[in-house]
Amino acid sequence: MTALEALQTYFGYEQFRPLQDKIVESVLAGKDTLALLPTGGGKSICFQVPTLVHDEGLCLVVTPLIALMKDQVENLRRRDIRAAAIYTGMSRDQQRVAIDNCMFGPYRFLYVSPERLESEEFRRKLAELPIVMIAVDEAHCISQWGYDFRPSYLKISEIRALLPKQVPILALTATATPEVAEDIQQQLLFRAPNVIRQSFARENLSYLVRYCKNSQDTHSAGRTKTEELQHIVSRMPQSRIIVYVRNRKRAEELAGILGCPYYHAGLSPEERTRRQEAWDGIMVCTNAFGMGIDKPDVRLVIHYDLPDSPEAYFQEAGRAGRDGQPAYAVLLYAPEDKAKVQKRVADNYPPREFVEDVYHKTADFLCVGAGSGLGHSFALHIDELCHTMRLPVLQTYSALHLLTQAGYIDFQEEQDNQARVMVNVPLHTLREYQLSGEQEELLHSLLRKYPGVMTELKYLHGEITETIHQTLTGLAARHIITYIPRTRACRVTFVQERQTEVYLPRQAYEKREDAFKQRLHAMMEYAEQTSYCRSQLLLSYFGETDAPCCGTCDVCRSKKG
Ligand code: ADP
Ligand code: MG
């Protein structure tokens, strides 16, 4: 089967999009390849088609986003292509079943989250899997100097060495500065440099910066950010609009003022899906909104706060106008943003003594004594930790990330831990408990659906409605079952036994702090300057120096008069 035939047969698309064919060809020729395609450019096809061109063999897909992973697996299954996923939060049994399926069944895709690559069990089985290629999605996460570094991505090169034969690796990302692109290829042990990229220019997107006055300023003329925001959206009624803000509280506040929904990671996954699907006007959100937005007709993306980096800005702003029709990316900027940026640096890089303090307090909180804890993994509720130990929340998060980079712990932010249940009383005694009809029905369905639920905690599948939750809680109160409701906790794993002292190498602290400041600085330059075409300026940051003036940004327009 040719690549084009595979595209048509399996996916029903007539043609490859620009560059997809070149990327597929490169992979099929066995070359390591770094592909830079904008969000929505169709990166998934680039590893799915080469895998399916052959009649058998497994593609190992490394991707950090569990939600997207589940989506893709569903999508493939709908097309009768066997695919499986392994991620933290699945039970050991579930993971084992997934791997065994790939080992013995006609599976074509195995999606894994990068931290799974560290598991000994997974590594042992890896050599036995019929892997024909490795795809690394969101490959910019591998770069320590990039804006979204994930330490577990560094493990990807190690698994290359564990495979019995050389297979091509395809790295995919929508954003990479020249340094990051270089870094990706090095870290993934590319046998020869090979980058396939498309211009990131977006002709239909106009970049604008609106200068506002400070929020408390009642004297000067002009609008505050909130007033400007109201003004702008009032001029675009009936349009799909995204307003990005930095924190959850502000998202809720502004949604109240604009009378529209908000979206942030504090909402339950079900609620988030519901809001995303119902969305047809303005949405105020944090950067939790974005992964998997597939609405092509977003007319306007407004940033209420200065983003952390040009990469983040470009990605988020780029969600406007995917249908090719005119669209706007507006950044609101006020004099006070300068000071806020300073504070952001301080919040992200708290003093070393503070980081050490967080290390010891976290260990104490989790009852890990000096010299112990190696390999132990804990659910961690940051709010409780901070409350008990009197730590400031924001900086504590940062400290835990720094400790991860320095190799003391592995800290992962909030994720879903599915609910678990075990039945504690023998079946034949259930009658003695005088259960309600609902309780009885639920218990019977548990026993039917989850063999072994009498002897060990079982993860519950499917949605747990409020009614089911109530019934389970009622049963647990009477000790008929053990019920661990779903929690959204962070996870901390001790990668070394607890140390008495913490040392943060320059690599893990100053160098990252510098890179962070540089990115912020570039973002401020973008906001403050009024002499260069904004599109050109952004693109030059990604190494594209030959893009023409856009003619539609505020700078270009003011030059035209
Ligand atoms: P990315 O990962 O680059 O953001 P995706 O792989 O999620 O993009 O693809 C975005 C959308 O484009 C998907 O809905 C996908 O099915 C569609 N798509 C990809 N390639 C093609 C193609 N050759 N023809 C038509 N639609 C395509
Ligand atoms: Mg993608």
Query: In 297-426, which ranges are continuous DSSP H helix?
Result: 310-317, 337-348, 352-365, 382-389, 393-405
Ligand 1 pocket mutation, candidates 8, 10, 17, criterion most atoms within 8 A of CB = 17
List pLDDT tens digits, range 138-161. 999 999 878 888 888 888 999 988
Average pLDDT, the chain: 91
Rounded distance between C-alpha atoms, residue 407 and residue 529, angstroms: 39
Q: What pLDDT does residue 391 have?
A: 97
List pLDDT tens digits, range 18-41. 899 999 999 999 999 999 998 878
Q: Which ligand is nearest to the CA of 294?
A: 1
Atom number in ligand 1 closest to CA 16: 23
Pick the CATH number of 350-417+490-508 from 3.20.20.80, 1.10.10.1100, 1.10.3720.10, 1.10.10.10: 1.10.10.10
The pLDDT > 70 percentage for the chain reads 99
- Amino acid 50 reads P
Ligand 1 pocket mutation, candidates 9, 19, 45, 49, criterion most atoms within 8 A of CB = 45
Q: What pLDDT does residue 415 have?
A: 64
Q: What pLDDT does residue 99 have?
A: 92
Rounded distance between C-alpha atoms, residue 331 and residue 289, angstroms: 17
43 Cα: distance to centroid of ligand 1 (angstroms):
7
Take atom 5 of ligand 1 and give the residue whose Cα is closest: 42
**Does residue 273 surpass a pLDDT of 70?**
yes
473 Cα: distance to centroid of ligand 2 (angstroms):
39
Rounded distance between C-alpha atoms, residue 460 and residue 405, angstroms: 34
Six token digits for residue 143: 């770069």
Q: Do 3-197 and 350-417+490-508 come out as alike in CATH topology?
A: no
Query: Out of 3-7, 68-72, 486-490, which region has the weakest mean confidence (pLDDT)?
Result: 486-490
37 lines ligand 1 (CB under 6 A): yes
Atom number in ligand 1 closest to CA 294: 14
Pairing of strands 109-112, 327-333: unpaired
CATH number belonging to domain 205-337+534-560: 3.40.50.300
Take atom 17 of ligand 1 and give the residue whose Cα is closest: 42
What are the domain boundaries of the chain?
Answer: 3-197, 205-337+534-560, 350-417+490-508, 420-485
123 lines ligand 1 (CB under 6 A): no
Q: Which residues contact 288 (CB under 8 A, 6 or more apart)?
A: 263, 264, 265, 272
Q: What pLDDT does residue 89 have?
A: 66
Q: Which ligand is nearest to the CA of 13?
A: 1
Average pLDDT rounded to a whole number, residues 162-168: 90
**Which residue has better confidence, 67 or 212?**
212
- Domain 3-197 fold is Rossmann fold (3.40.50)
**Does residue 308 surpass a pLDDT of 70?**
yes
43 lines ligand 1 (CB under 6 A): yes
**Does residue 59 surpass a pLDDT of 70?**
yes
Q: Which of 283-297, 302-316, 398-412 has the highest mean pLDDT?
A: 302-316
Q: How confident is the model at residue 54 (pLDDT cuts 50, 70, 90)?
A: very high
65 Cα: distance to centroid of ligand 2 (angstroms):
10
List pLDDT tens digits, range 497-511. 999 999 998 888 999
Q: How confident is the model at residue 417 (pLDDT cuts 50, 70, 90)?
A: low
List pLDDT tens digits, range 472-529. 999 999 999 988 887 778 889 898 999 999 999 888 899 999 999 999 999 999 999 9
Q: What pLDDT does residue 416 have?
A: 61
40 lines ligand 1 (CB under 6 A): yes
Atom number in ligand 1 closest to CA 17: 23
